[in-house]
Amino acid sequence: MTTNFCFLSVGTPKRIGFVSTRFQGTDGVTLEARKWAHVLEGMGHSCYWMAGLLDAPPANSHAAPLAFFNHPEVAEVQRHLFGVTVRSRAVTNRIQALKESLKDELYRFIEKFQIEVLIPENILAIPMHVPLGLAMTEVIAETGLPTIAHHHDFAWERERFVVSAVSDYLRSAFPGGLPGVEHVVINSMAQKELARRCSLSSVVVPNIIDFETPPPGIDDYNRDLRREIGLRDDDHLILQPTRVVQRKGIEHAIELVRRLKEPRARLVISHAAGDEGGAYMAMLQDRIADAGIDVRFIADRVGETRGTDAQGRKIYTLFDVYAHADLVTYPSHFEGFGNAFLEAIYFGKPVVVNSYAVYARDIDPLGFKTIEMSQLVTGETVEQVRTVLHDPALRAEWARDNFALGLKYFSYSVARRKLAARLANLFGEGV
Protein backbone atom coordinates (compact mmCIF):
# COMPACT_ATOMS: atom_id res chain seq x y z
CA MET A 1 0.00 0.00 0.00
CA THR A 2 1.30 3.47 -0.92
CA THR A 3 0.89 6.31 1.57
CA ASN A 4 0.84 9.84 0.20
CA PHE A 5 2.19 12.64 2.37
CA CYS A 6 1.50 16.33 1.80
CA PHE A 7 4.44 18.62 2.55
CA LEU A 8 4.24 22.38 2.88
CA SER A 9 6.66 24.05 0.52
CA VAL A 10 8.55 26.93 2.13
CA GLY A 11 10.29 28.13 -1.04
CA THR A 12 13.82 29.46 -1.26
CA PRO A 13 15.40 30.33 2.12
CA LYS A 14 15.24 34.06 2.82
CA ARG A 15 17.22 36.46 4.99
CA ILE A 16 14.56 37.94 7.28
CA GLY A 17 14.98 41.10 9.34
CA PHE A 18 12.90 41.72 12.47
CA VAL A 19 12.65 45.39 13.50
CA SER A 20 11.17 46.87 16.66
CA THR A 21 11.86 49.29 19.50
CA ARG A 22 13.18 46.46 21.67
CA PHE A 23 13.75 42.73 21.56
CA GLN A 24 14.60 42.18 25.18
CA GLY A 25 12.83 40.74 28.18
CA THR A 26 9.46 39.04 28.33
CA ASP A 27 7.03 41.59 26.84
CA GLY A 28 4.49 40.10 24.46
CA VAL A 29 5.99 41.53 21.27
CA THR A 30 9.45 40.20 22.08
CA LEU A 31 8.13 36.77 23.00
CA GLU A 32 6.02 36.38 19.86
CA ALA A 33 8.82 37.66 17.61
CA ARG A 34 11.15 35.02 19.07
CA LYS A 35 8.56 32.34 18.40
CA TRP A 36 8.13 33.49 14.79
CA ALA A 37 11.90 33.41 14.35
CA HIS A 38 12.04 29.88 15.74
CA VAL A 39 9.36 28.78 13.28
CA LEU A 40 10.98 30.57 10.33
CA GLU A 41 14.42 29.19 11.10
CA GLY A 42 12.87 25.73 11.27
CA MET A 43 11.66 26.36 7.72
CA GLY A 44 15.22 27.08 6.60
CA HIS A 45 15.21 30.90 6.72
CA SER A 46 17.79 33.08 8.51
CA CYS A 47 16.63 35.71 11.01
CA TYR A 48 18.28 38.98 12.02
CA TRP A 49 17.35 41.63 14.57
CA MET A 50 17.34 45.42 14.84
CA ALA A 51 16.06 47.35 17.86
CA GLY A 52 16.98 49.93 20.46
CA LEU A 53 17.37 47.27 23.15
CA LEU A 54 18.54 43.79 22.15
CA ASP A 55 19.46 40.51 23.76
CA ALA A 56 20.05 38.73 20.44
CA PRO A 57 23.61 37.57 19.61
CA PRO A 58 25.72 40.40 18.11
CA ALA A 59 26.53 38.21 15.11
CA ASN A 60 22.96 38.48 13.81
CA SER A 61 21.74 41.76 15.30
CA HIS A 62 22.10 45.50 14.83
CA ALA A 63 21.69 47.73 17.89
CA ALA A 64 20.28 51.18 17.19
CA PRO A 65 19.79 52.93 20.56
CA LEU A 66 17.63 55.65 18.98
CA ALA A 67 15.05 53.00 18.06
CA PHE A 68 14.12 52.46 21.73
CA PHE A 69 10.89 54.24 22.65
CA ASN A 70 12.36 55.35 25.99
CA HIS A 71 15.50 56.86 24.50
CA PRO A 72 15.64 60.39 26.01
CA GLU A 73 15.43 62.16 22.65
CA VAL A 74 12.50 60.04 21.54
CA ALA A 75 10.64 60.32 24.84
CA GLU A 76 11.00 64.12 24.77
CA VAL A 77 9.42 64.30 21.28
CA GLN A 78 6.67 61.82 22.07
CA ARG A 79 5.70 63.93 25.09
CA HIS A 80 4.42 66.63 22.71
CA LEU A 81 2.41 64.39 20.36
CA PHE A 82 -0.59 63.04 22.29
CA GLY A 83 -3.25 64.64 24.43
CA VAL A 84 -2.97 67.76 22.24
CA THR A 85 -4.15 68.53 18.71
CA VAL A 86 -1.44 70.93 17.49
CA ARG A 87 2.34 70.47 17.34
CA SER A 88 4.93 73.17 16.85
CA ARG A 89 7.18 73.47 13.83
CA ALA A 90 10.13 72.70 16.10
CA VAL A 91 8.54 69.39 17.08
CA THR A 92 7.88 68.55 13.44
CA ASN A 93 11.50 69.31 12.61
CA ARG A 94 12.69 67.11 15.47
CA ILE A 95 10.47 64.22 14.31
CA GLN A 96 11.92 64.52 10.83
CA ALA A 97 15.50 64.63 12.11
CA LEU A 98 14.97 61.51 14.22
CA LYS A 99 13.27 59.80 11.28
CA GLU A 100 16.27 60.46 9.03
CA SER A 101 18.71 59.10 11.62
CA LEU A 102 16.60 55.98 12.00
CA LYS A 103 16.39 55.50 8.24
CA ASP A 104 20.18 55.49 8.17
CA GLU A 105 20.17 52.75 10.81
CA LEU A 106 17.60 50.72 8.87
CA TYR A 107 19.65 50.94 5.70
CA ARG A 108 22.78 49.87 7.61
CA PHE A 109 20.86 46.88 9.00
CA ILE A 110 19.53 45.88 5.58
CA GLU A 111 22.95 46.18 3.94
CA LYS A 112 24.83 44.52 6.79
CA PHE A 113 22.75 41.34 6.64
CA GLN A 114 21.51 41.54 3.03
CA ILE A 115 17.92 41.49 4.27
CA GLU A 116 15.35 40.12 1.79
CA VAL A 117 12.20 40.31 3.94
CA LEU A 118 11.31 42.84 6.64
CA ILE A 119 9.13 42.05 9.66
CA PRO A 120 8.28 45.28 11.54
CA GLU A 121 7.04 44.12 14.96
CA ASN A 122 4.25 46.44 16.12
CA ILE A 123 6.10 49.61 15.08
CA LEU A 124 3.58 50.24 12.28
CA ALA A 125 0.65 49.72 14.64
CA ILE A 126 1.00 51.47 17.99
CA PRO A 127 2.65 54.95 17.81
CA MET A 128 4.91 54.66 20.82
CA HIS A 129 7.77 55.74 18.54
CA VAL A 130 6.40 57.93 15.74
CA PRO A 131 9.79 58.66 14.08
CA LEU A 132 10.58 54.93 13.85
CA GLY A 133 7.24 54.15 12.23
CA LEU A 134 7.80 56.91 9.69
CA ALA A 135 11.34 55.72 8.99
CA MET A 136 10.19 52.13 8.54
CA THR A 137 7.43 53.19 6.14
CA GLU A 138 9.76 55.30 4.01
CA VAL A 139 12.38 52.54 3.83
CA ILE A 140 9.76 50.06 2.64
CA ALA A 141 8.57 52.60 0.05
CA GLU A 142 12.11 53.30 -1.15
CA THR A 143 13.44 49.74 -1.26
CA GLY A 144 10.30 47.83 -2.20
CA LEU A 145 11.43 45.08 0.18
CA PRO A 146 8.73 42.46 0.78
CA THR A 147 7.30 43.05 4.25
CA ILE A 148 5.21 41.14 6.77
CA ALA A 149 3.90 43.76 9.20
CA HIS A 150 3.10 42.06 12.52
CA HIS A 151 0.57 44.21 14.40
CA HIS A 152 -0.12 43.53 18.09
CA ASP A 153 -1.84 46.78 19.27
CA PHE A 154 -3.29 49.63 17.24
CA ALA A 155 -3.50 53.30 18.20
CA TRP A 156 -7.29 53.22 18.28
CA GLU A 157 -7.17 50.48 20.96
CA ARG A 158 -5.43 52.75 23.50
CA GLU A 159 -7.14 55.73 25.10
CA ARG A 160 -3.89 57.69 25.44
CA PHE A 161 -3.50 57.88 21.65
CA VAL A 162 -7.04 59.04 20.84
CA VAL A 163 -6.22 62.77 20.99
CA SER A 164 -3.27 63.43 18.73
CA ALA A 165 -1.21 66.15 17.07
CA VAL A 166 0.16 63.64 14.53
CA SER A 167 -2.96 62.42 12.73
CA ASP A 168 -1.16 63.01 9.43
CA TYR A 169 1.63 60.65 10.45
CA LEU A 170 -0.77 58.08 11.86
CA ARG A 171 -2.60 57.90 8.53
CA SER A 172 0.60 57.56 6.54
CA ALA A 173 2.51 55.05 8.65
CA PHE A 174 0.33 53.45 11.32
CA PRO A 175 -0.15 51.16 9.50
CA GLY A 176 0.03 52.99 6.15
CA GLY A 177 -1.07 51.45 2.86
CA LEU A 178 2.00 50.49 0.85
CA PRO A 179 1.95 47.71 -1.73
CA GLY A 180 4.05 44.61 -1.07
CA VAL A 181 3.10 44.51 2.59
CA GLU A 182 1.36 41.52 4.15
CA HIS A 183 -0.52 42.67 7.25
CA VAL A 184 -0.80 40.22 10.14
CA VAL A 185 -2.92 40.82 13.25
CA ILE A 186 -3.37 38.68 16.35
CA ASN A 187 -7.16 38.64 16.69
CA SER A 188 -10.27 38.91 14.54
CA MET A 189 -11.43 42.19 16.12
CA ALA A 190 -8.23 43.90 14.98
CA GLN A 191 -8.69 42.36 11.54
CA LYS A 192 -12.18 43.84 11.20
CA GLU A 193 -11.14 47.26 12.51
CA LEU A 194 -8.12 47.40 10.20
CA ALA A 195 -10.40 46.72 7.24
CA ARG A 196 -13.03 49.23 8.40
CA ARG A 197 -10.68 52.07 9.33
CA CYS A 198 -7.90 51.65 6.77
CA SER A 199 -9.41 49.51 3.97
CA LEU A 200 -6.57 47.02 4.48
CA SER A 201 -6.93 43.26 4.35
CA SER A 202 -5.03 41.19 6.89
CA VAL A 203 -4.58 37.65 8.17
CA VAL A 204 -5.00 36.55 11.78
CA VAL A 205 -1.99 34.70 13.14
CA PRO A 206 -2.78 34.14 16.82
CA ASN A 207 -0.18 34.07 19.54
CA ILE A 208 1.37 30.63 19.76
CA ILE A 209 3.16 28.20 22.06
CA ASP A 210 5.21 25.14 21.14
CA PHE A 211 2.48 22.62 21.94
CA GLU A 212 4.38 20.04 19.86
CA THR A 213 6.96 19.94 22.70
CA PRO A 214 5.72 18.72 26.12
CA PRO A 215 5.90 21.38 28.87
CA PRO A 216 8.76 21.25 31.37
CA GLY A 217 7.78 20.01 34.80
CA ILE A 218 9.20 19.84 38.30
CA ASP A 219 12.89 18.96 38.22
CA ASP A 220 15.91 19.05 40.51
CA TYR A 221 16.34 22.81 40.01
CA ASN A 222 12.80 24.02 40.67
CA ARG A 223 11.74 21.36 43.17
CA ASP A 224 12.36 23.73 46.07
CA LEU A 225 10.44 26.69 44.60
CA ARG A 226 7.52 26.46 47.02
CA ARG A 227 9.82 26.41 50.02
CA GLU A 228 11.88 29.28 48.62
CA ILE A 229 8.82 31.54 48.34
CA GLY A 230 7.47 30.49 51.74
CA LEU A 231 4.83 27.94 50.73
CA ARG A 232 4.24 24.39 51.92
CA ASP A 233 3.73 21.43 49.60
CA ASP A 234 0.05 21.16 50.57
CA ASP A 235 -0.74 24.85 50.00
CA HIS A 236 -2.90 25.79 47.01
CA LEU A 237 -0.61 27.89 44.79
CA ILE A 238 -2.95 30.20 42.88
CA LEU A 239 -0.84 31.94 40.24
CA GLN A 240 -1.45 35.39 38.76
CA PRO A 241 1.20 35.30 35.98
CA THR A 242 1.09 38.94 34.89
CA ARG A 243 2.54 42.36 35.53
CA VAL A 244 0.82 44.50 38.16
CA VAL A 245 -1.09 46.86 35.87
CA GLN A 246 -4.70 47.92 36.09
CA ARG A 247 -5.99 46.19 32.99
CA LYS A 248 -4.95 42.82 34.46
CA GLY A 249 -7.83 42.98 36.97
CA ILE A 250 -5.79 41.55 39.85
CA GLU A 251 -8.34 42.86 42.35
CA HIS A 252 -10.63 40.06 41.09
CA ALA A 253 -8.00 37.43 41.97
CA ILE A 254 -7.75 38.93 45.46
CA GLU A 255 -11.53 38.85 45.83
CA LEU A 256 -11.65 35.25 44.63
CA VAL A 257 -9.11 34.07 47.19
CA ARG A 258 -10.89 36.04 49.93
CA ARG A 259 -14.21 34.40 49.15
CA LEU A 260 -12.72 30.92 48.84
CA LYS A 261 -12.04 30.97 52.59
CA GLU A 262 -9.45 28.26 52.04
CA PRO A 263 -6.78 28.52 54.75
CA ARG A 264 -4.27 26.85 52.41
CA ALA A 265 -4.90 29.20 49.46
CA ARG A 266 -1.94 31.41 48.53
CA LEU A 267 -2.10 33.99 45.74
CA VAL A 268 1.28 34.28 43.99
CA ILE A 269 1.91 37.25 41.67
CA SER A 270 4.86 36.65 39.39
CA HIS A 271 5.68 40.05 37.87
CA ALA A 272 6.40 43.56 39.09
CA ALA A 273 4.48 46.76 38.49
CA GLY A 274 7.22 48.40 36.42
CA ASP A 275 6.53 52.06 35.62
CA GLU A 276 2.77 51.65 35.14
CA GLY A 277 1.36 50.41 38.39
CA GLY A 278 2.31 52.61 41.36
CA ALA A 279 -1.19 53.81 42.27
CA TYR A 280 -2.70 50.47 41.27
CA MET A 281 -0.26 48.57 43.47
CA ALA A 282 -1.17 50.78 46.42
CA MET A 283 -4.85 50.02 45.84
CA LEU A 284 -4.12 46.28 45.69
CA GLN A 285 -2.18 46.43 48.95
CA ASP A 286 -5.22 48.02 50.60
CA ARG A 287 -7.46 45.27 49.17
CA ILE A 288 -5.09 42.57 50.40
CA ALA A 289 -5.02 44.05 53.89
CA ASP A 290 -8.82 44.28 54.00
CA ALA A 291 -9.20 40.72 52.67
CA GLY A 292 -6.74 39.28 55.17
CA ILE A 293 -5.34 36.78 52.67
CA ASP A 294 -1.83 35.52 51.96
CA VAL A 295 -0.40 37.12 48.79
CA ARG A 296 3.19 36.60 47.65
CA PHE A 297 4.83 39.02 45.21
CA ILE A 298 7.76 37.06 43.80
CA ALA A 299 8.98 39.25 40.91
CA ASP A 300 12.41 39.42 42.58
CA ARG A 301 12.70 35.63 42.27
CA VAL A 302 11.50 35.28 38.67
CA GLY A 303 13.69 36.02 35.66
CA GLU A 304 14.10 35.17 32.00
CA THR A 305 16.64 32.47 32.82
CA ARG A 306 17.59 30.42 35.83
CA GLY A 307 20.47 31.71 37.93
CA THR A 308 21.15 33.53 41.18
CA ASP A 309 20.63 37.10 42.35
CA ALA A 310 23.06 39.42 44.11
CA GLN A 311 22.23 37.76 47.45
CA GLY A 312 22.94 34.30 46.05
CA ARG A 313 19.26 33.29 45.99
CA LYS A 314 17.91 31.13 43.20
CA ILE A 315 16.17 32.84 40.28
CA TYR A 316 13.41 30.80 38.67
CA THR A 317 11.69 31.20 35.31
CA LEU A 318 7.98 31.78 34.91
CA PHE A 319 7.74 28.24 33.54
CA ASP A 320 9.17 26.95 36.85
CA VAL A 321 6.34 28.72 38.68
CA TYR A 322 3.69 27.34 36.31
CA ALA A 323 4.93 23.82 37.03
CA HIS A 324 4.02 24.25 40.71
CA ALA A 325 0.69 26.09 40.24
CA ASP A 326 -2.61 24.49 41.21
CA LEU A 327 -4.75 27.17 39.54
CA VAL A 328 -4.13 30.19 37.31
CA THR A 329 -6.10 33.43 37.55
CA TYR A 330 -6.40 35.59 34.46
CA PRO A 331 -9.08 38.21 35.19
CA SER A 332 -7.88 40.79 32.64
CA HIS A 333 -10.27 43.51 31.49
CA PHE A 334 -8.53 43.81 28.12
CA GLU A 335 -5.91 41.85 26.19
CA GLY A 336 -4.71 41.91 22.60
CA PHE A 337 -4.70 38.14 22.75
CA GLY A 338 -3.79 36.37 25.99
CA ASN A 339 -0.38 34.72 26.41
CA ALA A 340 -1.02 33.82 30.04
CA PHE A 341 -4.13 31.91 28.99
CA LEU A 342 -2.14 29.85 26.49
CA GLU A 343 0.61 29.23 29.04
CA ALA A 344 -1.90 27.93 31.58
CA ILE A 345 -3.35 25.56 28.97
CA TYR A 346 0.13 24.45 27.91
CA PHE A 347 0.99 23.52 31.50
CA GLY A 348 -2.33 21.77 32.03
CA LYS A 349 -3.52 24.15 34.74
CA PRO A 350 -7.16 25.12 35.32
CA VAL A 351 -7.66 28.81 34.62
CA VAL A 352 -10.11 31.43 35.85
CA VAL A 353 -10.55 33.85 32.97
CA ASN A 354 -12.49 37.07 32.68
CA SER A 355 -14.43 37.07 29.44
CA TYR A 356 -12.55 39.96 27.81
CA ALA A 357 -13.55 40.79 24.26
CA VAL A 358 -10.84 38.92 22.34
CA TYR A 359 -11.29 35.84 24.53
CA ALA A 360 -15.07 35.92 24.01
CA ARG A 361 -14.77 36.24 20.23
CA ASP A 362 -11.69 34.20 19.28
CA ILE A 363 -10.92 31.72 22.08
CA ASP A 364 -14.07 30.78 23.99
CA PRO A 365 -15.92 29.38 20.93
CA LEU A 366 -13.14 26.81 20.44
CA GLY A 367 -14.35 24.81 23.42
CA PHE A 368 -11.72 25.23 26.14
CA LYS A 369 -12.78 24.11 29.62
CA THR A 370 -12.27 27.05 31.95
CA ILE A 371 -13.87 28.87 34.87
CA GLU A 372 -15.29 31.98 33.26
CA MET A 373 -16.31 35.20 34.96
CA SER A 374 -17.73 38.39 33.54
CA GLN A 375 -16.28 41.35 35.46
CA LEU A 376 -17.57 39.91 38.74
CA VAL A 377 -16.49 37.13 41.10
CA THR A 378 -19.81 35.43 41.71
CA GLY A 379 -20.74 32.67 44.11
CA GLU A 380 -20.78 30.29 41.15
CA THR A 381 -17.22 31.29 40.25
CA VAL A 382 -16.06 30.57 43.80
CA GLU A 383 -17.79 27.17 43.90
CA GLN A 384 -16.30 26.15 40.55
CA VAL A 385 -12.83 27.03 41.79
CA ARG A 386 -13.37 25.12 45.01
CA THR A 387 -14.54 22.05 43.05
CA VAL A 388 -11.56 22.14 40.68
CA LEU A 389 -9.02 22.58 43.50
CA HIS A 390 -10.33 19.49 45.30
CA ASP A 391 -10.91 17.21 42.28
CA PRO A 392 -7.63 15.94 40.73
CA ALA A 393 -9.49 13.78 38.19
CA LEU A 394 -11.42 16.79 36.88
CA ARG A 395 -8.21 18.83 36.62
CA ALA A 396 -6.59 16.00 34.66
CA GLU A 397 -9.55 15.79 32.28
CA TRP A 398 -9.52 19.54 31.64
CA ALA A 399 -5.77 19.50 31.13
CA ARG A 400 -5.98 16.73 28.53
CA ASP A 401 -8.84 18.28 26.57
CA ASN A 402 -7.44 21.82 26.69
CA PHE A 403 -3.96 20.75 25.59
CA ALA A 404 -5.45 19.01 22.55
CA LEU A 405 -7.27 22.22 21.57
CA GLY A 406 -4.11 24.27 22.09
CA LEU A 407 -2.21 21.91 19.81
CA LYS A 408 -4.91 22.26 17.17
CA TYR A 409 -5.35 26.04 17.20
CA PHE A 410 -2.29 27.73 18.79
CA SER A 411 0.74 25.56 18.04
CA TYR A 412 3.84 26.39 16.04
CA SER A 413 2.39 24.42 13.13
CA VAL A 414 -0.39 27.01 12.83
CA ALA A 415 2.16 29.83 12.49
CA ARG A 416 4.31 27.72 10.16
CA ARG A 417 1.44 27.23 7.75
CA LYS A 418 0.32 30.85 7.83
CA LEU A 419 3.80 32.33 7.53
CA ALA A 420 4.57 30.06 4.56
CA ALA A 421 1.45 31.44 2.91
CA ARG A 422 2.52 35.04 3.61
CA LEU A 423 5.91 34.41 2.01
CA ALA A 424 4.25 32.68 -0.93
CA ASN A 425 2.06 35.76 -1.46
CA LEU A 426 5.13 38.00 -1.45
CA PHE A 427 7.38 35.88 -3.67
CA GLY A 428 4.92 33.93 -5.80
CA GLU A 429 6.16 30.58 -4.55
CA GLY A 430 3.69 27.73 -4.40
CA VAL A 431 2.30 26.29 -1.24
pLDDT digits (tens, 9 = 90+) for 20-46: 999 998 788 999 999 999 999 999 999
Mean pLDDT score of the chain, rounded to an integer?
93
Same domain, 186 and 264: no
Same domain, 45 and 177: yes
Percent over 90 (pLDDT), the chain: 88
Same domain, 417 and 403: no
pLDDT, residue 338, reads 86
Label residue 274 by pLDDT band (50, 70, 90). Answer: low
Same domain, 193 and 232: no
> Does residue 220 belong to any structural domain of this protein?
no
Interval 180-238: pLDDT, tens: 899 999 999 999 999 999 999 999 999 999 999 999 999 999 999 999 999 999 999 99
Label residue 162 by pLDDT band (50, 70, 90). Answer: very high
Q: In this structure, what CATH number is given to the domain that contains residue 266?
A: 3.40.50.2000
Same domain, 45 and 107: yes
Q: Is the dihedral of CA 56, 57, 62, 66 positive or negative?
A: positive
Same domain, 168 and 235: no
> Does residue 194 belong to any structural domain of this protein?
yes
Pick from 1-5, 257-261, 279-283, 326-330: least confident: 1-5
pLDDT, residue 30, reads 93
pLDDT, residue 275, reads 56
Task: Give residues with Cβ within 8 angstroms of 82, minimum separation 6.
Answer: 127, 160, 161, 163, 164, 165, 166
Query: Which residue type sits at 100?
Result: E
Pick from 131-135, 273-277, 349-353, 374-378: least confident: 273-277
> Does residue 123 belong to any structural domain of this protein?
yes
What total number of domains does the chain contain?
Answer: 2
Q: CA 390 → CA 90, 241, 264, 383, 385, distances in Å? A: 64, 22, 12, 11, 9
Q: CA 61 → CA 149, 249, 352, 358, 408, distances in Å? A: 19, 37, 39, 33, 33
- Decide if pLDDT at 2 tops 50: no
Same domain, 405 and 419: no
Interval 45-97: pLDDT, tens: 999 999 999 999 999 999 999 999 999 999 999 999 999 999 999 999 999 99
Domain that holds residue 233: 225-409
- Decide if pLDDT at 15 tops 80: yes
pLDDT, residue 6, reads 43
> Does residue 7 belong to any structural domain of this protein?
no
- How far, in Å, CA of 365 to CA of 297, rounded? 33
> Does residue 393 belong to any structural domain of this protein?
yes
Q: Where are the beta strands (DSSP E) in 211-264?
A: 236-240
> Does residue 6 belong to any structural domain of this protein?
no
Same domain, 203 and 232: no
Query: How many CB atoms neighbour CB 275 within 10 A?
Result: 8
Same domain, 230 and 362: yes
pLDDT, residue 431, reads 39
Query: Nearest-CA neighbor of 353 among 256, 265, 268?
Result: 256
Same domain, 265 and 301: yes
Same domain, 49 and 98: yes
Buried b (16+ CB within 10 A) or exposed e, 402-414: bbebbbebbbbbb
Percent over 70 (pLDDT), the chain: 96
- Decide if pLDDT at 382 tops 80: yes
Same domain, 115 and 231: no
Label residue 4 by pLDDT band (50, 70, 90). Answer: very low
> Does residue 4 belong to any structural domain of this protein?
no
